[in-house]
């Protein structure tokens, strides 16, 4: 048995040195390590080994198996590297100065609409900030007055991470950090990607984009909120858009509103896009809750402010007539490319 193991060792070393292709290496692996390979046949003979020699022979067989597996793995890496080098050597050079022959690329419709909205707000004196996609529980919930027993904190609504942090569920998660950075006199927007453990359908995605906006100063009122939202819509749709406020409830604003925009497709007369009502729900908004200001070190007795959370994906759908939010994350270039002339 010992002699058979030594012969297989020597034989494998000679054969593996001759391999020069991935196919040849796989054939060699099957020859030695397959179900009916030479090592399997060797194991069949193991039952005939005397008891006092089984420990030694067993160690030799295992050493042979480990050696074959290691060698095959090493040679596989070498062969792969050689093939990659060959492909790179034979690859045709690319002349980057040549004109494009199959058309030009296009921005994602969401990118286009966010840029348009940003430009409008910047023209009104707003700063643009980035938020984090991974947030602390404090910033995402506590700092914006979401109580500890709120259902939004449940596992079925929020993607929690093993370290206790989470994928932010709304752009409001950046409010505390931004309010602390700018203090009691600020006009800031902060777009970003958000995540919620949603069931997917035409109107809901588990990954979506929002644009948060906050204005804080002395004597800020609801009328200021309405003015800025109307100016934003006018800049995006290139015409005056009427808005209305409906009562709402959000932990981080008081009073809270749902802001509706007059349907841009029918001018408020009623059509399939607005469900015949003449109005389209645009964004939640309201006056920043005193607790949120207080958590950021701002005196709510002296300063007031408003906040809004604009759904960028919803705005794309409103402007393009796209009827399924899932298309925006589909990666379907042919479908998305057609909207570049509509936005």
- Of 55-64, 239-248, 334-343, least confident by mean pLDDT is 334-343
**Cβ burial, residue 224 (10 Å; 0-12/13-18/19+):** middle
Q: Are residues 9 and 123 in the same domain?
A: no
Joined together, the tokens standing for residue 321 give 């007539």
Give the predicted TM-score (pTM) of the model: 0.64
Give the model confidence (pLDDT) of 272-296 as tens digits: 767 788 888 888 999 999 999 999 9
In the chain, what percentage of residues exceed pLDDT 70? 90
Q: Are residues 66 and 117 in the same domain?
A: no
Range of the domain at 36: 2-90
- Give the pLDDT mean for 318-324: 76
- Give the pLDDT mean for 120-142: 92
**271: confidence class by pLDDT, cuts 50, 70, 90:** confident
Roughly what angle, to the nearest 10 degrees, separates helices 2-16 and 22-33?
Answer: 170
Q: Are residues 270 and 301 in the same domain?
A: yes
Residue 103 lies in a domain: no
CA-nearest of 206, 202, 186, 177 to 194 is 206
**329: confidence class by pLDDT, cuts 50, 70, 90:** confident
Q: How far apart are CA 92 and CA 112, in angstroms?
A: 35
Residue 98 lies in a domain: no
77 or 87, higher pLDDT: 77
Burial 192-205 (b: 16+ CB within 10 A, else e): bebbbeeeeeeeeb
Provide φ and ψ at 11, rounded to 5°. Answer: -65, -45
Model pLDDT, residue 308: 92
* Most confident of the ranges 101-105, 186-190, 308-312, 328-332: 186-190
Instruction: Give the HSE-up count for residue 195: Cα atoms under 13 Å, Cβ half-sphere.
Output: 13
CA distances, 79 to each of 11, 76, 277, 342 (Å): 21, 5, 67, 51
Q: How far apart are CA 283 and CA 25, in angstroms?
A: 61
Model pLDDT, residue 295: 94
Q: How far apart are CA 224 and CA 227, in angstroms?
A: 5
Residue 100 lies in a domain: no
| CATH number of the domain bearing residue 194 | 3.30.930.10
**256: confidence class by pLDDT, cuts 50, 70, 90:** very high
Q: Are residues 122 and 53 in the same domain?
A: no
pLDDT mean across residues, the chain: 83
Own/partner contacts of 80-85, CB < 8 Å, gap of 24 or more, are 80/22, 83/22
Check pLDDT > 70 for residue 105: no
Give the model confidence (pLDDT) of 205-229 as tens digits: 889 899 999 999 999 999 999 999 8
Residue 279 lies in a domain: yes
Residue 96 lies in a domain: no
Q: Please state the domain count of the chain.
A: 2
- Give the pLDDT mean for 157-178: 92
Check pLDDT > 60 for residue 343: no
Q: How far apart are CA 38 and CA 10, in angstroms?
A: 13
CA distances, 328 to each of 202, 209, 315, 332 (Å): 11, 10, 12, 8
Residue 321 lies in a domain: yes
- Give the pLDDT mean for 158-172: 91
Check pLDDT > 70 for residue 88: no
**Cβ burial, residue 66 (10 Å; 0-12/13-18/19+):** exposed
Q: Are residues 121 and 263 in the same domain?
A: yes
Q: Are residues 178 and 39 in the same domain?
A: no
- Give the pLDDT mean for 295-307: 95
Give the model confidence (pLDDT) of 66-76 as tens digits: 888 888 787 77
Q: Do the beta carbons of residue 169 and residue 194 sit within 8 Å? A: yes
Strands (E), 239-278: 243-250, 253-262
Residues paired with 283 in a beta bridge: 259
Residue 95 lies in a domain: no
Q: Are residues 146 and 86 in the same domain?
A: no
Q: Do the beta carbons of residue 211 and residue 170 sit within 8 Å? A: no
Model pLDDT, residue 335: 77
**102: confidence class by pLDDT, cuts 50, 70, 90:** low
Q: Are residues 194 and 336 in the same domain?
A: yes
- Residues 6 or more apart from 280 whose CB is under 8 A from it? 260, 261, 262, 263, 264, 273, 274, 318
Q: Are residues 300 and 167 in the same domain?
A: yes
**Cβ burial, residue 239 (10 Å; 0-12/13-18/19+):** exposed
- Of 35-44, 90-99, 147-156, 204-213, least confident by mean pLDDT is 147-156
Q: Are residues 227 and 330 in the same domain?
A: yes
Q: Are residues 287 and 212 in the same domain?
A: yes
Residue 14 lies in a domain: yes
Q: How far apart are CA 125 and CA 18, in angstroms?
A: 72
Last residue of a domain, which of 61, 90, 119?
90
CA distances, 191 to each of 115, 210, 212 (Å): 10, 6, 6
Q: Are residues 133 and 198 in the same domain?
A: yes
Q: How far apart are CA 240 and CA 282, in angstroms?
A: 15
CB atoms within 10 A of CB 139: 21
Model pLDDT, residue 198: 79
């Amino acid at each position: 048995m010992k002699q058979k193991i030594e012969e297989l060792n020597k034989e494998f070393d000679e054969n593996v040195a001759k391999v020069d292709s991935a196919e040849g290496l796989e054939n060699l692996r099957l020859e030695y390590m397959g179900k009916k390979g030479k090592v399997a046949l060797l194991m069949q003979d193991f039952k005939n080994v005397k008891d006092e020699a089984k420990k030694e022979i067993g160690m030799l067989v295992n050493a042979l198996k480990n050696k074959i597996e290691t060698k095959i793995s090493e040679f596989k890496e070498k062969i792969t590297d050689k093939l990659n080098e060959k492909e790179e050597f034979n690859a045709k050079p690319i002349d980057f100065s040549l004109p494009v022959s199959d058309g030009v690329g296009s921005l994602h419709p969401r990118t286009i609409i966010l840029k348009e909205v940003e430009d409008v707000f910047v023209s009104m004196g707003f700063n643009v900030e980035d938020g984090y996609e991974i947030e602390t529980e404090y910033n995402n919930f506590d700092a914006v007055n979401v109580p500890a027993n709120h259902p939004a904190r449940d596992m079925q609504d929020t993607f929690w991470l093993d370290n206790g942090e989470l994928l932010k569920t709304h752009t409001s998660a950046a409010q505390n950090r931004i309010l602390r950075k700018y203090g009691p006199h600020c006009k800031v927007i902060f777009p970003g990607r958000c995540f919620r453990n949603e069931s997917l359908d035409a109107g809901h995605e588990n990954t979506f984009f929002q644009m948060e906006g906050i204005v804080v100063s002395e004597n800020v009122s609801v009328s200021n909120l309405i003015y800025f939202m109307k100016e934003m819509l006018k800049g995006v749709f290139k015409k005056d858009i009427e808005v209305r406020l409906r009562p709402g409830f959000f932990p981080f604003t008081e009073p809270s509103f749902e802001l509706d925009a007059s349907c841009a497709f029918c001018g408020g007369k009623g059509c399939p896009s607005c469900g015949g009502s003449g109005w389209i729900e645009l964004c939640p908004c309201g006056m920043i809750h005193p607790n949120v200001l207080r958590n950021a070190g701002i005196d709510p007795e002296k300063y007031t402010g408003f906040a809004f959370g604009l759904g960028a994906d919803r705005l794309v759908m409103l402007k393009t007539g796209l009827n399924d939010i899932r298309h925006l994350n589909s990666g379907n270039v042919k479908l998305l490319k057609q909207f570049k002339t509509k936005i």
